[in-house]
Structure 1
């Protein structure tokens, strides 16, 4: 007998495949589901492979269930991924500079006001 699922329920799923738009998963009773790239974290996710890998088992929240019984899932309320998001928020200024300053050049005088504003904003969090 197939297990009943409901929206809002947490379920452990196994990643069976990864595409640029999300990860395909299966429940222990072989129900198919998808974790869309927008449901991995609240922050922008460029590549799902940075967070999930084939064969990995994760706890996900059911967002919706379609007529065929396929599950749409989210990792946004998974404690591990919430902690990863917090870690990304606490990156050093140098990491942010490396990430945003790959192309072009601006003098320190031009960039300094933005760096100061960013540091003040992080101190006030």
Structure 2
């Protein structure tokens, strides 16, 4: 017998597979669901593997339940992932470059005004 799930309910789910667009999960009663890459955190997620691994158990919030019973989850309300997002906000510009940008003088010239704005914003905090 499968349990009835409802929107906004928190459930511990196990990651059963990872794709570039999201992570497949199962509830304790083997009901399937998906955590879309955009639902891991509010910040841009380039690689899901930096946050989730196959076999990992996470507390996720149900966004919706499809007619066929498949569940759509979010991790944005999970305290662990909120803390990860705060850590990313405090990272240095150099760490952000290493993770997402290509190097080169032209690229640096283009990005410099943005980095200056970001640095000034952090100093105001």
- In the other structure, the counterpart of 1:37 is 37
Paired residues in the alignment total 125
Give the Cα–Cα distance (whole angstroms) in 1 for the partners of residues 99 and 21 of structure 2. 23
- In the other structure, the counterpart of 2:66 is 66
- In the other structure, the counterpart of 1:80 is 80
SS in 2 for 1:41: coil
- In the other structure, the counterpart of 1:49 is 49
Bigger Rg, which one: 1
In structure 1, the gaps of 5 or more residues are none
Indicate the RMSD between aligned Cα atoms, in angstroms.
Answer: 2.2
Answering whether residue 105 of structure 2 is matched by residue 116 of structure 1, we say no
SS in 1 for 2:105: coil
- In the other structure, the counterpart of 1:5 is 5
In structure 2, the gaps of 5 or more residues are none
Give the Cα–Cα distance (whole angstroms) in 1 for the partners of residues 32 and 100 of structure 2. 38
TM-score scaled by structure 1?
Answer: 0.87
